[in-house]
Structure 1
């Protein structure tokens, strides 16, 4: 069941975070949110979710800083980075940390759902093998 899938959504924009969280919950997923990188790192140290949606552009600890910490904690955790900018050079850098994809904020949430489902299937297959 989808509600067994735990998602951590990290984004400093409250409106986007609330809207995406509501939308993912409406699709049957369990969603926890963090408003900044420090909060995300604390949550990740307490419990590893099944997948992370991670904004790249945040104050204090940005998405790349959180991504580096995620890889210290779990090198295989699926991470989809979020960016408002299609040509964001940090998205290219994030690729070197084995992310599952990039979701652009101006895109339809259905594209994020497609990335999510693909990442979860791939991760499940890798765990089996």
Structure 2
């Protein structure tokens, strides 16, 4: 399963890349919304881990564009801010899940494993 990790903090991208790669996931990373959209347009990803708060283009805007490109992609929004309005907006716009930072890595691995079992691409 191919996963795109999008976070403006490079250390988070690197951590998730290393962690997920060791379990056999194919992982690409992007540190901006525009870079994420460019990568997503060129390569099919089954799951996107998407930070909500980014400086150039926030995660909700990126989510809207990704949904136009592929309505079947599983998008997991990740945020350090427990803002209920943003959470509702993300889920209403098609996010599969909304997780708060710091994300427990084992929980994330289990969630992705379930997506991998259930997703037919």
What's the TM-score, normalizing by structure 2? Answer: 0.90
| Structure 1 segment 92-111 matched on structure 2, within 5 A | 92-111=88-107
Q: 1:43 aligns with which of 23, 39, 44?
A: 39
Distance across 1 between alignment mates of 2:22 and 2:44:
22
Range that drifts further, 101-110 or 11-20: 101-110
* Unmatched segments (≥5 aa) in structure 1: none
Q: TM-score scaled by structure 1?
A: 0.85
- 1:14 paired to 2:10: yes
Q: Write the distance in 1 (CA, Å) between the matches of 2:53 and 2:84.
A: 10
Of residues 110-119 and 15-24 in structure 1, the stretch that sits farther from structure 2 once superposed is 110-119
Change beyond 3 A, Cα 1:92–1:26: same
Deviations 1:59-93 (A, max 9, x none): 11110111000111011111111111233532221
Is 1:61 the counterpart of 2:57? The answer is: yes
Counterparts of residues 103-122 of structure 1 (less than 5 Å): 103-122=99-118
Aligned to 2:29: 33
CA distances 1:32-59 after superposition (whole Å, capped 9, x unpaired): 0000001001111112212111111101
